[in-house]
Amino acid sequence: MMSSAVSLPEPYDWALSTERFRAFGPDLANLWHEGGVHRVFGGTEVRIEEAPGGVRVEPAQPGLEGQVRHYLGGPFDLDPFYAFADTEPVLAGIVTRLRGFRPPLSPDPYETLVSAITAQQISLRAAFAVRNRFVEAFGVKAGLAYAFPTRERVALAGPEEIVALGFSRRKAEYAIGIARSDLDLDGLSALSDDEVKSALTALPGIGEWTADWFLARHLARPDAWPAGDLGLRKAVLHFYGEEDTRAAGDRFPGFRNLAAHYLLTGHRVLAG
C-alpha cells in the first residue's frame, strides 16, 4: 500500500500534538492505534504516523495533503506566538516545555458542534464514551476508525434513538435540531468571529462556550478564548492564580487561541 509524506511547519512535536487523541480514552472518529492516528477522509480511512519533517499518511490519496496538514494544526503560526510568549513570563515557561505542540483541528463543522454538546456539563472522559456510542450507531465504520455521523443521517433520527446512547433528552434534541437546521455550517468560515458566534448561538443548545470552541478548534481563529471552559478555568487558576478566566484572556491579545491550548495541555502534561 502506497504512503505519502505530508510536511508540517517547524517546529512540530508529534507526541505533544497528538496527546489529545490519547488523553480521554479512545475516540472512534480520531482513533489512536499503535502509535498512529486513524481518521476517515472522504470515505477512506487513513493512518497518520510520525515521519521526518511531518507525518506519513497511508494509503496515499490525491488531494489529501492539505486536509491532513489542516487536521494536524498546520494553520497555526507558532513563530509569532512564541515571540509573544517571550514577553509573558508564565506563558514563556509553558511554551518552552511544549515547544512544537500544534493543536489538532476538527475538520467537520457538524462534528465540532456535536462533540462540544456531548461535553456540556460532564467530564471529557464521559463525553468521549457517549460520543463513541453515537459514532457507532450513526457513523460508518471504514476500518478501525469510523466516519463521524453526517448531518443528513442524524436529521433522520428520533430523539429516543440518541437518548438510548447516553445523551440527555435535551442534548439529543440539540444534535437533531442542528442537523435539521438550514444554517450553512461550511459557510461560517467566511464570517467574522462575532458573526459566527451570532449565527451559532441562534441554534438550539449552542451557547457562547460551544461557539468559542467552534472558533478555536474548527476555524482556528487567533483570538478565540473559551472563557467558560472548566478545564481552561482550572489551568488559568493553576498557572496564574486568577479566578476571572475571561479577564485573563486580555493577557494574550491576538494569540488567545494558542494560549488557551497551551494552558490546557500544559495543565494536563506539566502540572502533575
Helices 169-180 + 109-118 axis angle, to 10: 170
pLDDT for the residue 64: 92
Assess contact for 5 and 54: CB atoms under 8 A: yes
Confidence band for 122, pLDDT divided at 50, 70 and 90: confident
Residue 61 has pLDDT above 90, yes or no: no
- Residues 207-236 have a mean pLDDT of 96
Residue 253 has pLDDT above 90, yes or no: yes
Residue 133 has pLDDT above 90, yes or no: yes
Grid coordinates given for 46? 487513513
In this prediction the pTM is 0.95
Task: Tell me which residue has cell 494558542.
Answer: 258
Residue 97 has pLDDT above 90, yes or no: yes
Secondary structure (H, E, C), the chain:
CCCEEEECCCCCCHHHHCCHHHHCECCCCCEEECCEEEEEECCEEEEEEEECCEEEEECCCCCHHHHHHHHCCCCCCHHHHHHHHCCCHHHHHHHHHCCCCCCCCCCCHHHHHHHHHHCCCCCHHHHHHHHHHHHHHHCEECCCCEECCCHHHHHCCCHHHHHCCCCCHHHHHHHHHHHHCCCCCHHHHHCCHHHHHHHHHCCCCCCHHHHHHHHHHCCCCCCCCCCCCHHHHHHHHHHHCCCCHHHHHHHCCCCHHHHHHHHHHHHHHCCC
Residue-wise pLDDT tens digits, 64-77: 999 999 999 999 99
Confidence band for 60, pLDDT divided at 50, 70 and 90: confident
Grid coordinates given for 245? 478566566
Q: What is the overall mean pLDDT for the chain? A: 95
Residue 1 has pLDDT above 80, yes or no: no
166: left (phi over 0), alpha (psi -120 to 50) or beta: left
Residue ranges per structural domain of the chain: 4-74, 109-217
pLDDT for the residue 2: 84
List Cβ neighbours of 7 (8 Å cut-off, separation of 6 or more). 53, 54, 69
Q: Let me know the angle formed at the C-alpha of 215 by 213 and 216, rounded to the nearest 5 degrees.
A: 60
Give percent above pLDDT 90 in the chain. Answer: 93
Q: CATH code for 109-217?
A: 1.10.340.30
- Residues 104-125 have a mean pLDDT of 93
Confidence band for 264, pLDDT divided at 50, 70 and 90: very high
pLDDT for the residue 26: 93
For the four alpha carbons of 233, 234, 239 and 240, in that order, the dihedral sign comes to: positive
Who has greater pLDDT, 272 or 46? 46
